[in-house]
Structure 1
Amino acid sequence: MTSSASLGPLRAKFRALEEERERTWSPDALAVNVNQRALLVREHGQIQGVVQKGDVLPEFTLPTVDGATVSLIDLVAKGPAVLVFFRFATCPACNIALPYYRDTLWPKLKAAGISLLAISPQPVPALSEIATRHTLPFPVASDVGLELSRALGITYKFDEASYQAAVSKGGRSIDLNGLDDVWELPKPAVLVVGPERVVQFADVSPDWMDRTESDKVLKALALDAGEASHAA
């Protein structure tokens, strides 16, 4: 077992959650979660079309949980922007990651005039819960129907055991992604997108319990040694 002391701050938080689950979940329930994540890690390197540095993102306009809309053109109008893709509002790992980014990433981005947008395929009414719960100071947008996530090659489909577990609890895919009986979600990902919609940094996490640390994003933006404004 890896010591929490040797892990990054976010990964250490996830490890604590894993240890709690090992103590409190049934072996069968734990196996469903662990096996799905392990499968995604094994298959990730074989998948074609996953977004990477140098790609040009498609233009998009998404609804946000506060009733507005946000477009990529506006986000990168004055410099780079950070896009954080997550699964859904009640995902335990997402409820660890987004407050972590709020506290460790957003302050330096804001000081440098860099936008951050969190994106999930969940429909706005349910998605708004996570923004309210954690008082997120950056916009949270809905990629309902997974159009953007699919274009970036970052989605995955539930394996049979995960599907059966979700259905047995009364789950409906339409509540997670706006699609009826399509059990598909984005892998967590962090992108830095510059002017002309060019990806300057891309980190896609096939294991949703092992996500991008803030220091990697700050380093990609040259903010790890202090803020430098990117705004005009």
Structure 2
Amino acid sequence: MSESLNRLLADLHAQRVATWEPATLQVNVDQRQRLVDEARTEDFVKVGDTLELFTLLKVEGGSLSRDELLAKGPAVLIFFRFAGCPACNIALPYYERQLYPQLHALGVPLVAVSPQVPERLVEIKTRHHLKLQVASDPDNQLGRRLGILYSFDDASRKAALAKGNSIGETTGTGTWELPQPTVVIIARDATVAFADVSPDWLVRTEADPIIRAVEQLLGQAPVQIAI
């Protein structure tokens, strides 16, 4: 059985249940449940959508445009919250292990995207020695167009401020907005070939369906990579 990202995230939640103060845990659980209950799924990016031109900022410096990403074929974007997000520090190394080798073998770019400013976002790439690309979505411009943004609720804002910081200070964006975990596969013609949005940031897309969708898009047989 291949490694499961959602099992790793469930383990994170179980650890919090065992170690966090109940009131603190409840704020986290309530925010995630509210996002699920109030999700505007009709606004989420969907298969068949066409993505207009966009530009991301690479954490190492320089930019990455839509057309550069699609120069040789499809590309995969994984939206995550910010470099210090505990769940993101589980998810990105997982994608590095379970997704990057297969996509690299197929010549398909894999880019992890967050609104956090590049100089702060770079730490998640260096911390885990990621080969996959990490890039900033300036001012959440692409995330907003994809309909995947959310804002902290009042209880979560108060909890963050009680710790001495707002998420806008952490990300450098100055706002309380973050993207919901999302995977988008963009075909070479800039249409969306696969889209999966999770309002609950402790539930995320496994690697296998992404690989299958890319292989189907390319019309290729599965690629076997030794991990």
Aligning the two structures, in what range does the TM-score lie when normalised by the shorter sequence?
over 0.9
1:214 has 2:214 as partner: no
CA RMSD of aligned residues (A): 1.9
- Whether the aligned pair in 2 keeps the contact of 1:11 and 1:211 (CA below 8 Å) is yes
1:16 has 2:17 as partner: no
Give the Cα separation in 2 of the matches to 1:8 and 1:56: 32
Alignment of 1:74-89 (within 5 A): 74-89=68-83
Deviation at 1:144, TM superposition (A): 2.6
- TM score, norm. by length of structure 1: 0.90
What residue ranges of structure 1 are gaps of 5+ in the alignment?
Answer: none
Which residue of structure 1 aligns with residue 190 of structure 2?
197
Kindly provide the CA deviation profile for residues 161-189 of structure 1, in whole angstroms up to 9, marking residues without a partner as x. Answer: 00001111111333344433x21100010
Q: Counterpart of 1:125 in structure 2: which amino acid?
A: E
Give the Cα separation in 1 of the matches to 2:7 and 2:113: 23
Kindly provide the CA deviation profile for residues 8-67 of structure 1, in whole angstroms up to 9, marking residues without a partner as x. Answer: 7111001111110000000000001000000111111x4432101000112111211111
Give the Cα separation in 2 of the matches to 1:150 and 1:176: 19
Residue range with higher mean Cα deviation, 166-175 or 206-215: 166-175
- Whether the aligned pair in 1 keeps the contact of 2:53 and 2:65 (CA below 8 Å) is yes
21, 24, 28: which one aligns with 1:33: 28
- Whether the aligned pair in 2 keeps the contact of 1:145 and 1:178 (CA below 8 Å) is no
SS of the residue aligned with 2:139?
Answer: coil
Give the Cα separation in 1 of the matches to 2:76 and 2:173: 26
Deviation at 1:77, TM superposition (A): 1.3
- TM score, norm. by length of structure 2: 0.92
- Whether the aligned pair in 1 keeps the contact of 2:73 and 2:187 (CA below 8 Å) is yes
145, 149, 160: which one aligns with 1:166: 160
SS of the residue aligned with 1:95?
Answer: helix
Which residue of structure 2 aligns with residue 56 of structure 1?
50
Kindly provide the CA deviation profile for residues 180-223 of structure 1, in whole angstroms up to 9, marking residues without a partner as x. Answer: 3x211000100100112100000001000000000010111127
Q: Counterpart of 1:109 in structure 2: which amino acid?
A: L
Give the Cα separation in 2 of the matches to 1:94 and 1:173: 15
185, 204, 222: which one aligns with 1:226: 222
What residue ranges of structure 2 are gaps of 5+ in the alignment?
Answer: none
- Whether the aligned pair in 2 keeps the contact of 1:121 and 1:144 (CA below 8 Å) is yes
Give the Cα separation in 2 of the matches to 1:91 and 1:174: 13
- Whether the aligned pair in 1 keeps the contact of 2:84 and 2:124 (CA below 8 Å) is yes
Indicate how the Cα distance of structure 1 residues 146 and 177 shifts in structure 2: closer, same or farther if over 3 A, else same: farther
117, 125, 128: which one aligns with 2:122: 128
Q: Counterpart of 2:211 in structure 1: which amino acid?
A: L
Indicate how the Cα distance of structure 1 residues 12 and 53 shifts in structure 2: closer, same or farther if over 3 A, else same: same
Which residue of structure 2 aligns with residue 90 of structure 1?
84
SS of the residue aligned with 1:145?
Answer: helix
